[in-house]
Amino acid sequence: MDFNASALLPVIVGLPLVGGVINGLFGKRFSRQVVYGIANTAVLASFLLAVMGFLSLRSAMDVTPDAAFRFDLYRWIAAGTYSFELSFLLDQLSSVMILVVTGVGFLVHLYSTSYMDEDPGYARYFAYLNLFIFSMLMLVLGKNLAMLFIGWEGVGACSYLLIGFWYKDMEKAEAGQKAFVVNRIGDIGFVVAIFLLLAYGNGSVDYDNLKLLFSDGVKALAHAPTITLICLLLFVGAAGKSAQIPLYVWLPDAMAGPTPVSALIHAATMVTAGVYMIARLNFLFALSPHAMTVVMMVGAATALMAASIGLVQNDIKKVLAYSTVSQLGFMFIGVGSGAFAAGVFHLFTHAFFKACLFLGAGAVIHALHHEQDIRKMGGLRKKLPVVHATFLISCIAIAGLPPFAGFFSKDAILAETVAFHPQVEKLEKYYESGFAREAETKAVSATIAAGKGLADVDRAAIGKHTAEIKNSYKESVEGLGKWRKIAFGMGLFAALMTAFYMFRLYFLTFSGEYRGDHHTWEHAHDSPWPMAAALGILAFLSAVVGLLGTPFNHGHWNKFFHWLDPVLARGTELVHGHLEPAMEYGLMGASVVVASTGVALAYSMYAKGPSEKGASLATSAAPVYNTLLNKYWVDELYFAAIIKPLRMVAQLLFQLIDRFLVDGLMVRGPGLALLGLSQIARLVQTGEVQTYLVGVVVGLAALTWYLI
């Protein structure tokens, strides 16, 4: 079983690649149905094999609790002490990810067969989708950071192609460029971190090797500043890919692509890559409470900021886009606070209800002939009963109301943020030999500096130095743990706003009376079966998958956390504490109250459509309303402070270096010089014999004068 399950891994990854290549090269020659069949079959087969791999891993865990399947394809790069293998790893974390990627990916493919049925670029579209799935599978199944980075760049390139799919529209093309450039900014930090890990890890960035390497407390303490730097640089990459402050600005503009693309990017694939990477390297981040605090607080700030922007947006896809940014912030609160399993659990549940919301929004837009302004909608539950039912279920799930999925995952993050407290005793035990080694080094150095020998080293001084180092470390770690209270408060407020803006969106879209064009209303119809099937499956999962994380004291009943324990236990035990059942259930109650309050406020203001209460509130708080409506003017600030100056410098360098120096002096210069000389030569090349004779005579006279 081990061998067979391992052999599945390259096939799971390769099938979408084959589908993408076939449709990309030959799709124009195929009918639509053939293209649809190739693309959907490739992803469906990959999903079925992923299920087989998951079941095989589950069986293997009955014998070995930390079982994992590995498949080494070949050595990709070998240079001195540096080596990279093209190899795959299926463990508890990657098994969850491939089920999400291929499962939700297939539903998006199925939905797209109806949504893109009239688009002439259907073959190119499905080729891009398949390649996107291939890249994401490379990212999550890679056994080392080099393979993760291949998939990381692959999803970045595919997102550029998909967001700018309708490239003849300049606005959409620029949105694709923006996503590409912003992600490259984050990737600079990621690449530098990989180089540092290569130097630190003796030329290998294999996960197993890194986990073994960082189990050495002496070496880890000696390189503690380097570890913190590596973690922060990795987070820069994660912030770019997973849209965190200040690199979140590309994600709302990613709405320029087809709506199924938005569902794929926002729900199950690209934007979750940063969360996955931090969870995968939990054993490294756990050694740097400073870096984890940065991750947690940036996540909290992003969740709060994006949620506040979502309160007033009127484009149905923009509301969902800022919702995604906010929910990603929650995930980073989780992994940043040491609640790695809770962060991954929210990634898991979010994939289903956010994909359902985006595909539901796409169905609404499709039915209303590309209308996206929710102020021109209303009453659509009568026309779109399937879309309405699935959208409502997903709204309840993301708002955090029981018993749907978002309640369990979001509550787990908030609850475990309260429980977050670096385990000082465990960290001290981990570093104990490192403390002693550092104290001994200081004592020996002081003795030698005093002109004495090693026999004169004061052993009492070593004990004193050890205690001092240990106490200093303990104070710094405990101080950082206090940030959790602030993160919890920010997360709770963001949860309130989430419930409000999602039900504002729901009521303005489906309740009240229709406020748009009546001709459009007459022709509106519910989704065809491929779209309805995808929506129904996602809505069902949004309702039930939360039960996998039923929080009975995080013990046997929490199947999801228990499943991830072999991968995440190391990091969790170093930085996470225990939450008493009474406190946990109290926090669950508070979470329900907060979510219910947000829904009630939305109902009171928008149950029958736009109300005077909402309009008067916007007028009375005009400065705040305009700030939120204009998204804090962040894009304008970036343009004025960064983009415009860089463009001016680029234009100056273009004119000076390219136009004047290269084109002018080096390319056109010699040609112009020869042309000038030829013009001078033409003055004497008249074709008249008399003129030539005069020239000869004048020349002879000049030569004679010179010689005499």
In a domain, 680, yes or no: yes
Q: Are 377 and 364 in contact (CB under 8 A)?
A: yes
Residue-level pLDDT at 65? 85
Q: Are 574 and 430 in contact (CB under 8 A)?
A: yes
Estimate to the nearest angstrom the gap between the alpha carbon of 410 and the chain centroid.
Answer: 18
For 577, the 3-state DSSP assignment is coil
In a domain, 194, yes or no: no
Number of domains in the chain: 2
Q: How far apart, in whole angstroms, are the C-alpha atoms of residue 157 and residue 206?
A: 24
In a domain, 478, yes or no: no
Domain ends where: 114, 143, 172? 143
pLDDT band of residue 123 (cuts 50, 70, 90) is very high
pLDDT of 595 over the 80 cut: yes
Proportion of the chain above pLDDT 90, given as a percent: 38
pLDDT band of residue 42 (cuts 50, 70, 90) is very high
Residue-level pLDDT at 261? 86
Both structure tokens of 212: 């073994």
pLDDT band of residue 352 (cuts 50, 70, 90) is very high
Element (H, E) at 334: helix 316-336
Residue 455, CB half-sphere, CA atoms under 13 Å: how many?
A: 0
Q: How far apart, in whole angstroms, are the C-alpha atoms of residue 337 and residue 586?
A: 20
Residues 638-652: tens digit of each pLDDT: 989 988 898 899 888
Both structure tokens of 324: 């995604």
Proportion of the chain above pLDDT 70, given as a percent: 86
Q: Are 387 and 509 in contact (CB under 8 A)?
A: no
Instruction: Please tell me the least confidently modeled range out of 34-43, 277-286, 399-408, 464-473.
Output: 464-473
Q: How far apart, in whole angstroms, are the C-alpha atoms of residue 162 and residue 180?
A: 11
Please give the residue that has the higher pLDDT: either 87 or 555.
87
Residues 130-147: tens digit of each pLDDT: 999 999 999 999 999 989
- Amino acid type, 645: P
Q: How far apart, in whole angstroms, are the C-alpha atoms of residue 258 and residue 478?
A: 48
pLDDT band of residue 689 (cuts 50, 70, 90) is confident
In a domain, 664, yes or no: yes
Element (H, E) at 75: strand 69-79
Residue-level pLDDT at 498? 94
Domain ends where: 116, 143, 170? 143
pLDDT of 412 over the 80 cut: yes
Using alpha carbons only, what angle is made at residue 197 by residues 196 and 203, rounded to the nearest 5 degrees?
A: 105
Alpha-carbon distances of 369 from 203, 309, 396, 662, rounded to whole Å: 55, 26, 27, 51
Rg, Å, the chain Cα set: 31
Other beta carbons within 10 Å of 363: 28
Peptide bond into 246 cis (omega under 30): yes
pLDDT of 377 over the 60 cut: yes
DSSP states of 291-305: HHHHHHHHHHHHHHH
pLDDT band of residue 450 (cuts 50, 70, 90) is low
* Bridge partners (DSSP) listed for residue 70: 89
Domain ends where: 143, 174, 208? 143
Residue with tokens 């234009």: 651
Residue 702, CB half-sphere, CA atoms under 13 Å: how many?
A: 6
Residue-level pLDDT at 555? 47
pLDDT of 192 over the 70 cut: yes
**Domain region containing 638:** 634-707
Both structure tokens of 339: 């609640």
Residue-level pLDDT at 2? 45
Using alpha carbons only, what angle is made at residue 228 by residues 222 and 233, rounded to the nearest 5 degrees?
A: 135
pLDDT band of residue 672 (cuts 50, 70, 90) is confident
Phi, psi of 99 (to 5 degrees): -65, -40
How long is the chain? 708
Q: How far apart, in whole angstroms, are the C-alpha atoms of residue 552 and residue 588?
A: 12
Q: Are 123 and 131 in contact (CB under 8 A)?
A: no
Alpha-carbon distances of 519 from 512, 515, 691, rounded to whole Å: 18, 12, 86
Residue-level pLDDT at 52? 94
Q: How far apart, in whole angstroms, are the C-alpha atoms of residue 417 and residue 556?
A: 21
Q: Can you tell me the mean pLDDT for 464-483?
A: 66
pLDDT of 445 over the 80 cut: no
Both structure tokens of 505: 């969106």
Q: Rounded to the nearest 10 degrees, what angle do helices 340-367 and 316-336 cross at?
A: 170
In a domain, 118, yes or no: yes
Encode burial over 652-672: b for 16+ CB neighbours within 10 A, e otherwise.
eeeeeeeeeeeeeeeeeeeee
Instruction: Please tell me the least confidently modeled range out of 74-78, 385-389, 445-449.
Output: 445-449
Residue-level pLDDT at 696? 86
Q: How far apart, in whole angstroms, are the C-alpha atoms of residue 143 and residue 94?
A: 10
* Bridge partners (DSSP) listed for residue 88: 71, 142
Residues 164-189: tens digit of each pLDDT: 888 888 888 888 888 899 998 999 99
pLDDT of 62 over the 90 cut: no
Beta-strand pair 82-90/69-79: antiparallel
Element (H, E) at 87: strand 82-90
In a domain, 420, yes or no: no
In a domain, 109, yes or no: yes
> Cβ-count burial of 616 within 10 angstroms (0-12 exposed, 13-18 middle, 19+ buried)?
exposed
Residue-level pLDDT at 320? 92
Across all residues in the chain, what is the average pLDDT?
85
Residue with tokens 């052993």: 459
Residues 520-567: tens digit of each pLDDT: 787 777 778 888 899 999 999 999 998 888 765 444 457 888 899 888
Residue-level pLDDT at 499? 94
Residues 205-245: tens digit of each pLDDT: 889 888 888 876 656 665 678 888 999 999 999 999 998 99
Residue-level pLDDT at 452? 66
Q: How far apart, in whole angstroms, are the C-alpha atoms of residue 200 and residue 226?
A: 9
Residue-level pLDDT at 538? 93
Residue-level pLDDT at 464? 66
Q: How far apart, in whole angstroms, are the C-alpha atoms of residue 577 and residue 425?
A: 11
pLDDT of 40 over the 90 cut: yes
Q: Global pTM? A: 0.87
Please give the residue that has the higher pLDDT: either 439 or 22.
22
Residues 419-444: tens digit of each pLDDT: 655 555 656 666 666 566 666 666 66
Residue-level pLDDT at 426? 59
Phi, psi of 576 (to 5 degrees): -130, 140
Please give the residue that has the higher pLDDT: either 531 or 517.
531
Residue-level pLDDT at 235? 95
Q: How far apart, in whole angstroms, are the C-alpha atoms of residue 176 and residue 166?
A: 10
Element (H, E) at 84: strand 82-90
Q: Are 312 and 374 in contact (CB under 8 A)?
A: no
Residue-level pLDDT at 442? 66
pLDDT of 286 over the 50 cut: yes
Q: How far apart, in whole angstroms, are the C-alpha atoms of residue 6 and residue 94?
A: 13
Q: How far apart, in whole angstroms, are the C-alpha atoms of residue 231 and residue 305?
A: 24
- Contact residues for 429 (Cβ-Cβ < 8 A; gap 6+): none
pLDDT band of residue 23 (cuts 50, 70, 90) is very high
Residue-level pLDDT at 681? 77
